[in-house]
Structure 1
């Protein structure tokens, strides 16, 4: 329940939304009015909310929602585009459908781009706790202080307990797609996944969907399931998603544009309509990791400035809102 509250509140205050309408049923545990007040959101020009039961049912609710959206759209016409510094950017670092090339092409290149974002005052959020297992020492060594290191260790300990009580283990095997792509163990995958975080200091460790407070490189606790993980990153404040993939991924994550970074040239050429950049050029000997990282950085800035990513142009992103549901459902 706490995760769901944080996710909805995080999306409601997300800078990529000009306006937000939140609709509740009226008798659920997660009351809209309570959520708005508890999260420090304000009912006004940018946000409106109501309950279906109070308004009078489905048709009345649809009409009210349409009226509010139209009013908001009219007010939005008065806004003007203005230049903004890069410190406003927060980039979600994500991977899915990883392969044997991920850890030597797209992931380290994205890590270099993340360092450039941080260097310009922005933030980068790494996540997927089960997929850093076995390589967490690489992040612990970069923690700015002991408290941050302890936060990360606490999340690893929680996952060990969580998997144990559910009859599983954290040191499990990669997915069938990962294995087909050349990854034999979760440790191989973790080493590649951590590379997405670059070399900047680890400034904070966030719980799932917890708002980002400390600029720079952050780690957010989440499952390795991509839609759940990215939903949390966006709720934490990520404004752009960078998604490395070796097998091919076609997801998008509104309201944050999602850049797809191919780890190998064969997959890029096969799925070029869904990919934004070919990091396989690294293994082909055409560019260095650093040069590809700079290209990713420039593409992030371009998309944040209004260019469309491949997933946006294809209309992806409306169905990938998947909050993490933990615990018994009674």
Structure 2
């Protein structure tokens, strides 16, 4: 019989509804009966025992709030009867005992990737075109127009053809109602074969930074761009500079050397104020890029150990099932990869608000726990100074889906990080260097955090969503996972994996997490395309160190 409710952790006094429940309904779980005093929608929660005013409420085995009023057993929890008191948190000696998962099935696992001279291995092979400042975005766009279709990288013009069909109907004098109701066959047009078959694409990282603002913004931008240039998935780069911007090429070169002292990828830097005419700049940039592509096209995939993978963990459009299905599933995948010697990145610091103590306790070194605490407090203080707070992070859509407080959201979001010890704590846009679970300070904004994770070295990203989110990244495959089957069936054009089988009881968290790891190996070897890549979803948003939750 399908379960209607779920108690996530033995210490919890909160029960999660897995489907819509009626007021007065009596439900049994683990030989205990619960009579519902209110209707409870799927993904929302009710209290499992009588709780007095001010008494604690636990979910995921962690403290998520106190009762603002007397809560009798069976009462639905909502924003009006639960609150999280603002308590300071301190550093404790790390609790790093870890129950390693069984990785016997993957001890000899490998993938086929692109080996770089610095010892890293990419799961893809891209050429980058990067502007140092937003003033060069137009020139980058002109290069994009000149290169993509002619090199065979523009794979579809489905909606261009769709619009042409509408224009043709309008030109023949068809009635507007007939035009709107017209049904056309799939008119996707596929580009010619790639001129350089071993290059997965040419990617253009336009942005709005590089000048204006504060110098720290330009330095952070140069660090992020250096992270992309030195990234294992990148074969070479063309850099366009105006010349007078804050983000100077010298800063970029310093950041590149910091990440890769023996950097040897082809990199062409062209400065418009030195060259002069736009036509001269663009013809030279296109010629050099073409020559670079011809050279790196000689690279081919070779076998590599699974420990060469670096996986980013992210989420967007979360719902009340996120912390029950998709997040713990990729958390188990993360534990498997850590046990096998790989690297994992957990970011989105605003979504760790309220669970800081549990996170810092997992740090292997006290200095890492101290740095995490410092970064969280500094970030939180900057939000307060701007008239906001971390607890403003849950959107109204999330609240409707059962995430009634920032702490419940955070407790569920933290499930993405699995249970392994934390080996390092990094500030944006630092590079990940240690095998194991790494924390990276980023906003909760999904595109900014995903952009940052890839800049720090993630060769692909696991991205969970409960409401539907179509994000991707220019150079790293973003594998999207739905928290529920209904969403997967509705939006499977943009979602790769359904973890709703955990909610239905068809699979366990461990079974889904193992399935995800097998999927990762197929993607890393170039055998399994992900929806974000197929759809050309190339989101890239650098984080300015202002307030972005």
Q: TM-score range by the shorter chain?
A: over 0.9
Question: What is the rounded CA distance, in whole Å, between the counterparts of 1:206 and 1:172 in structure 2?
Answer: 24
- Asked whether the 8 Å contact 2:349–2:376 carries over to 1, the reply is yes
* Greater shift in the superposed pair: 52-61 or 70-79: 52-61
Partner of 2:422: 202
Question: What is the rounded CA distance, in whole Å, between the counterparts of 1:209 and 1:45 in structure 2?
Answer: 21
**SS state of the match for residue 234, structure 2?**
coil
Partner of 1:121: 341
Offset at residue 33 of structure 1 (A): 3.5
Q: Does the alignment pair 1:149 with 2:369? A: yes
Question: What is the rounded CA distance, in whole Å, between the counterparts of 1:169 and 1:45 in structure 2?
Answer: 43
Q: Does the alignment pair 1:326 with 2:545? A: yes
> Residue 530 of structure 2: which of 295, 309, 312 is its match?
309
* Greater shift in the superposed pair: 173-182 or 188-197: 173-182
| Shift in alpha-carbon separation, 1:300–1:39, aligned structure 2, 3 A | same
Question: What is the rounded CA distance, in whole Å, between the counterparts of 1:136 and 1:305 in structure 2?
Answer: 36
Per the normalisation by structure 2, the TM-score is 0.58
Offset at residue 34 of structure 1 (A): 3.6
1:47-78 superposed Cα distances (whole Å, 9 cap, x missing partner): 22121111223222221221111111111232
Bigger-Rg structure (1/2): 2
| Shift in alpha-carbon separation, 1:311–1:3, aligned structure 2, 3 A | same
Q: Which has the higher contact order (CA 8 A, sep 6+)?
A: 1
| Shift in alpha-carbon separation, 1:327–1:135, aligned structure 2, 3 A | closer
**Structure 2: gaps spanning 5 or more residues:** 1-216
Report the count of equivalent residues: 326
- Asked whether the 8 Å contact 1:251–1:311 carries over to 2, the reply is yes
Partner of 1:22: 239
CA RMSD of aligned residues (A): 1.6
Partner of 1:218: 438
| Shift in alpha-carbon separation, 1:87–1:46, aligned structure 2, 3 A | farther
Question: What is the rounded CA distance, in whole Å, between the counterparts of 1:309 and 1:209 in structure 2?
Answer: 26
Question: What is the rounded CA distance, in whole Å, between the counterparts of 1:9 and 1:93 in structure 2?
Answer: 21
- Asked whether the 8 Å contact 1:144–1:203 carries over to 2, the reply is yes
1:157-205 superposed Cα distances (whole Å, 9 cap, x missing partner): 1122101110111222511221232211111110111000001110010
**Quick check: which one's helix share is greater?**
1
Question: What is the rounded CA distance, in whole Å, between the counterparts of 1:233 and 1:38 in structure 2?
Answer: 17
Trace 1:240-255 onto structure 2 (pairs within 5 A). Answer: 240-255=460-475
1:234-270 superposed Cα distances (whole Å, 9 cap, x missing partner): 1110100110000001111120100000000111110
Q: Does the alignment pair 1:256 with 2:473? A: no
> Residue 268 of structure 1: which of 488, 492, 495 is its match?
488
**SS state of the match for residue 259, structure 1?**
strand
- Asked whether the 8 Å contact 1:23–1:32 carries over to 2, the reply is no
Question: What is the rounded CA distance, in whole Å, between the counterparts of 1:239 and 1:106 in structure 2?
Answer: 20
Trace 1:276-295 onto structure 2 (pairs within 5 A). Answer: 276-295=496-515
| Shift in alpha-carbon separation, 1:92–1:43, aligned structure 2, 3 A | closer
1:112-152 superposed Cα distances (whole Å, 9 cap, x missing partner): 00111111111110001110110122211211021111011
Offset at residue 44 of structure 1 (A): 5.9
Question: What is the rounded CA distance, in whole Å, between the counterparts of 1:57 and 1:300 in structure 2?
Answer: 46
Question: What is the rounded CA distance, in whole Å, between the counterparts of 1:61 and 1:33 in structure 2?
Answer: 20
**Quick check: which one's strand share is greater?**
2
Question: What is the rounded CA distance, in whole Å, between the counterparts of 2:455 and 2:412 in structure 1?
Answer: 25
> Residue 51 of structure 1: which of 262, 265, 271 is its match?
271
Partner of 1:137: 357
Offset at residue 291 of structure 1 (A): 0.3
Question: What is the rounded CA distance, in whole Å, between the counterparts of 2:467 and 2:475 in structure 1?
Answer: 24
Question: What is the rounded CA distance, in whole Å, between the counterparts of 1:327 and 1:125 in structure 2?
Answer: 22
